[in-house]
Amino acid sequence: MHIPDGYLSPATCAITYAAALPFWYVAFARVKCLLHTRTVPLLAVFSAFSFVIMMFNLPLPGGTSGHAVGVAVATIVLGPWASMVAVSIALLIQSLFFGDGGITTYGANCLNMAVAGTLVAHWTYMLIAGRAELTASRRVVAAAIAGYLAINVAALLTAVEFGVQPMLFHDATGTPLYAPYPLAIAIPAMMIGHLTVAGLAELVISGGLVAYLQRANPDLLAYSVSSGVADTRARASIWRSTRTLWFILAALMILSPLGLLVEGTAWGEWGVDDFAIGEARQQISSASGNEALPATVPQGLEHLAIVWTAPVPDYAPGFMQNANLGYILSAVFGTGLILLAFLLISRASPK
């Protein structure tokens, strides 16, 4: 699960760092806002706990044993934001001091385990546990499933990151320069181990820990970090902590027409028309390592192309004369839709 240096291309590493960065920023800002002077000691000691949990060797049914990441445990006890920060810090110490996971791939490791793992664990736990009592057995099941799903989603992301490497990064002779296996091999290879041993380890530690805490100290299950008054205060100052991110988002929307400067269609985003035009065929072929294109439009593509027609084709509404303005409008509209979806999800999920 911890990707070492050399498995991912520099471009993939840069993209995963960029993808993890906003989550780190918002998570740290929220945690700081909630905890004030408690931030440093709580995060430091809890990150150390996350590290220690990763060293536990769990006896599993069937006689094997496995290590857990403990991401669901951190999420259930600390809440998603503090968990993201704590697991990221534990991963940084693992990679820098203990050589477990690479330095260039640290962004990818955090994106897979700390960010995606935490979010999946949080949503699953909230969805299944609902408003059940702190001591209800439903919470044990919720925690166990949250742990199992979180680690498997993280493994799937890792497999996808591995699987796209040979497709995108190879030399002129076709030698893969980084992880050598395509998605068809990378995904089953990663998932078999995680759907069984590693997933089971996560299931045992998450469910087992919640079951223990219900008997010994149920208070710890009540989101000890982000509950009550502190949460209200955090909501009030959410604008202050995320202000910079909103400005960056606005700048990105305005810069979106930059995409028009690049000639040709994005790799893999070809339509039926592109297979018919000679110039477009030439571009597809040269972008795909001079692979010969089929003489006619692939049947599957032709068949599926009529299933869904985009309301705003090619990011520019038909009535818009200026393509740049159309691009900006599409960016604003698309981002608005995503924000609305997240707003609805956050309203719908039980507090």
Q: Which of residues 121-180 bind other proteins (CB under 8 A)?
A: 166, 171, 173-180
What is the rounded CA–CA span in Å between residue 339 and residue 347?
12
100 binds other proteins (CB under 8 A): yes
Contacting other proteins within 56-95 (CB under 8 A)? 56-61, 63, 65-67, 70, 73, 77, 89-90, 92-95
| CA neighbor of 179 nearest in space, from 320, 5, 340 | 5
329, two tokens: 């409008």
C-alpha separations of 335 from 87, 251, 252 in Å: 29, 12, 11
Q: Does 292 bind other proteins (CB under 8 A)?
A: no
Pick the closer one to other proteins by CB: 73 or 121: 73
- Binding region for other proteins (CB under 8 A) out of 126-134, 208-216, 308-316, 322-330: 208-216
Of 38 and 303, nearer to other proteins (C-beta) is: 38
Residues 40 to 59: which contact other proteins by CB under 8 A? 40-49, 51-59
> Rounded to an integer, what distance in angstroms lies between the CA atom of residue 19 and that of residue 243?
18
Side chain identity, residue 119: L
Toward other proteins, which CB reaches closer, 48 or 254?
A: 48
Q: How far is the CB of 94 from other proteins (least distance, A)?
A: 7
Residue with tokens 């799903």: 149
Q: Is 332 in the site for other proteins (CB under 8 A)?
A: no
C-alpha span between 141 and 214 (Å, rounded): 13
Q: Which of 347, 316, 308 is nearest to 334 (CA)?
A: 316
Q: Is there a contact between 104 and 5 (Cβ–Cβ < 8 Å)?
A: yes
- Binding piece for other proteins, criterion CB under 8 A, among 199-207, 251-259, 277-285, 315-323: 199-207
Q: Which is nearer to other proteins, 53 or 316 (CB)?
A: 53
- Under the binding rule (CB under 8 A), the answer on residue 277 touching other proteins is no
> Rule CB under 8 A: is residue 324 a binding residue for other proteins?
no
Place of tokens 């068809």: 184
* Identity of the residue, 104 or 124, whose beta carbon is nearer to other proteins in the bound complex: 104
Instruction: Output the smallest distance, CB 331 to other proteins, in A.
Output: 29
Among 72, 84, 209, 316, binds other proteins (CB under 8 A): 209
Largest CA distance in the chain: 71
CB 118 within 8 A of CB 154: no
Choice between 80 and 207, CB closer to other proteins: 207
Rounded CA-CA distance 201/316 in Å is 49
Among 18, 36, 188, 341, binds other proteins (CB under 8 A): 36
| Least gap, CB of 124 to other proteins (angstroms) | 19
What minimum distance in Å lies between the beta carbon of 222 and other proteins? 12
Least distance (Å) between residue 241 CB and other proteins: 14
Considering the rule CB under 8 A, would residue 243 count as an interface residue with other proteins? no
Among 10, 130, 259, 268, indicate the residue that binds other proteins (CB under 8 A): 10
Nearer to other proteins, 67 or 281 (CB): 67
Question: Residues in contact with other proteins, total (CB under 8 A)?
Answer: 83
Q: Does 266 bind other proteins (CB under 8 A)?
A: no
